Amino acid sequence: MAKVILKKASYDYEALKEQVCEVMNSLGGKEIMPRSSVVIKPNLLAPAPPDKAMLTHPLVVKATVEYVLQRGACPRISDSPAMGSFEKVLKESGIKDALGGLDVECREFKESESVNIGEPFNFIEISRDALRADVVINLPKLKTHSQMLLTLGVKNLFGCIVGLRKPEWHFRTGVDREMFAKLLVGICRVLKPSFTILDGIVALEGQGPGKGGTPRSLGVLMGSEDAFALDIVVCRMLGIEPERLLTNRVALEAGLVESALRVEGDLPGVSDFKLPEIAPLVFGPKAFHGAMRRHFVQRPASHDTLCRLCGECWKYCPAKAITHDTKRVRFDYEKCIRCYCCIEVCPHGALSAEETIPGKVIRRIMKISS
């Protein structure tokens, strides 16, 4: 039976280090062999300071590195940020400073290797460093996600898809969230991280996962050898039906996780955790889906007073659906696949997902709840 461990935690470093150590020991961290290669994969989405709660906190990363060093193994911090250089993310996140003086390598995922993740995708390219490491330690942040509801242990591993292959995959899975969830589950199944330690000490609620989200103190550190099991327990803690998170539903349907899980520690009840509005992309008869997507479904929108025309959104958009003039960005909603990558990468919190007025009205009439 998969085990998920919970600890009440804060960013007080000495206490946190002990807690990370206890969680790792209890999960079998003592089996990490001396001189083995250990890839530590935090959430390093984009440059952001710790108080924005967008990235795995630098002290959680540091405590994990110190644990690996104590085992005599060789830790390496890796990710492939969606925005900004790897160096810049390390610096702004505070991770570079936190790791000062420690014998740890920081190396961006660059090379890929083709690996079969099963139907319907078969062979896809995943970071060679992650695939070839002796041990992968997955360090997600607990965050909301405008497209997928939450980004937790399973979704964090999408960062092991290197560089521009990420938006390519968004484009290939298109508006089909379930297809994207299957992709994420396939990646997690193949990478099979040995440990997943979730930073829920200060989480991100509302319109995450980028700067549109709001930090929310939950005081929780969680660990498991099974990223699927951990994600299910997070949902329970937040009072969400686990299958509402599509990656959970796909994993449960595929028999990748047992429904009975062993939870060690007190599962805190979190009330009123603010989730993003996730409206169904299309509904009703299939013949109307095209028009519906154009006029009724939720879509990215910009807040022009916040937009600085920096260009990150249109550079990243996998559907090439964003243009701009000298005053504002513009969206082509026929091309837009509602992946919300633009919201993720916007460094100024100038984008959010918004429902259209006709969409709200129709949904109310049809009594379709998100």
Q: Does 336 bind ligand SF4 (CB under 6 A)?
A: yes
Nearer to ligand SF4, 98 or 321 (CB): 321
Q: Of 149, 341, 352, 359, which one interacts with ligand SF4 (CB under 6 A)? A: 341
**Which sign does the torsion angle of CA 228, 351, 57, 19 carry?**
negative
- Which stretch of DSSP H or E encloses residue 191? helix 177-191
Nearer to ligand SF4, 26 or 214 (CB): 214
Quickly tell me which residue has 């490491």 as its tokens.
133
Q: Does 309 bind ligand SF4 (CB under 6 A)?
A: yes
Q: Of 135, 245, 275, 329, which one interacts with ligand SF4 (CB under 6 A)? A: 329
Strand 3-8 and strand 262-264: the pairing is parallel
Residue 205 · residue 52 · CB < 8 Å: no
Q: In angstroms, what is the minimal distance from the CB of 161 to ligand SF4? A: 16
Residue 104 · residue 137 · CB < 8 Å: no
Which of these segments, 239-247, 254-262, 333-341, 355-363, binds ligand SF4 (CB under 6 A)?
Answer: 333-341
# binding residues, ligand SF4 (CB under 6 A): 27
Q: Does 279 bind ligand SF4 (CB under 6 A)?
A: no
Rounded-to-integer distance, Cα 283 and Cα 246, Å:
17
Rounded-to-integer distance, Cα 96 and Cα 365, Å:
52
Nearer to ligand SF4, 113 or 355 (CB): 355
CA-to-CA dists, residue 329 to 195, 268, 301, 350, angstroms: 41, 42, 9, 10
Which residues are paired to 302 by β-bridges? 351
Q: In angstroms, what is the minimal distance from the CB of 167 to ligand SF4? A: 8
Q: Does 308 bind ligand SF4 (CB under 6 A)?
A: yes
Q: Does 184 bind ligand SF4 (CB under 6 A)?
A: no
Binding mask 33-62 for ligand SF4 (x = CB under 6 A): ------------------------------
- Within its chain, how far is the Cα of 272 from the centroid? 21
Residues 79-138 that bind ligand SF4 (CB under 6 A): none
Nearer to ligand SF4, 45 or 263 (CB): 45
Q: Does 311 bind ligand SF4 (CB under 6 A)?
A: yes
Q: In angstroms, what is the minimal distance from the CB of 282 to ligand SF4? A: 15
Q: Of 152, 184, 245, 337, which one interacts with ligand SF4 (CB under 6 A)? A: 337
Q: In angstroms, what is the minimal distance from the CB of 207 to ligand SF4? A: 13
Q: Number of C-alpha atoms within 13 angstroms, CB side, residue 268? A: 16
Residue 149 · residue 278 · CB < 8 Å: yes
Q: Does 297 bind ligand SF4 (CB under 6 A)?
A: no
CA-to-CA dists, residue 229 to 288, 302, 352, angstroms: 38, 36, 30
CA-to-CA dists, residue 82 to 42, 58, 245, 334, 367, angstroms: 13, 18, 22, 24, 37
Q: Does 317 bind ligand SF4 (CB under 6 A)?
A: yes
Rounded-to-integer distance, Cα 79 and Cα 136, Å:
12
Binding residues for ligand SF4, rule: CB under 6 A, are: 300, 302, 307-313, 317-319, 321-322, 329, 331, 336-342, 346, 348, 350-351
